[in-house]
Amino acid sequence: MACAQGMDVGDSGDDFLESVFLNENRCQDEGYAEGQADGRRKGLEQGFRLGCEKGCEIGAELGFYQGFSEAIRPSVEGLKNKARVLKTLESLQELIQSFPLTDPKHPSLHEEMQTIRAKFKQ
């Protein structure tokens, strides 16, 4: 930022004050524009990082639920109420399969995740 440019010390009093005022405004405008650009860039970087972190967390959680439901299924065969447990496991797997993995702006993304969590706790 080269804000000191444009100042001519040899100007008359009024011209000098006007030059100082205009230079100050120009410097302020340049600083504002630089700050906006820097903030936009940093905001995009932070948003990208946060999106990656949250996406990984959700993916790991869904993977855990899927793996659990697949691993527990064979051991359910010896239970008395296996029909109820199998139905719950199937329902959980269906919810996981229908989860919108490729659409982060899906309107019911959070609600579907809450439904999966609740189904897992059954």
Q: Convert the pLDDT of each residue in 5-54 to its tens digit.
A: 555 555 566 787 778 778 888 889 899 999 999 999 999 999 999 989 98
Backbone angles phi, psi at 2, to 5 degrees: -110, 70
* 3 band by pLDDT with thresholds 50, 70 and 90: low
pLDDT at 109 over 90: no
When divided into structural domains, the chain yields a total of: 1
In a domain, 4, yes or no: no
Q: What is the pLDDT of the chain when averaged over all its residues?
A: 84
pLDDT at 96 over 70: yes
- Structural domain containing residue 114: 13-121
In a domain, 7, yes or no: no
In a domain, 30, yes or no: yes
Sign of the torsion formed by the C-alpha atoms of 50, 56, 59 and 62 = negative
Q: 65 versus 23: which is more confidently predicted?
A: 65
Q: Kindly state the DSSP code that residue 1 receives in the 8-state scheme.
A: -
pLDDT at 60 over 90: yes
In a domain, 71, yes or no: yes
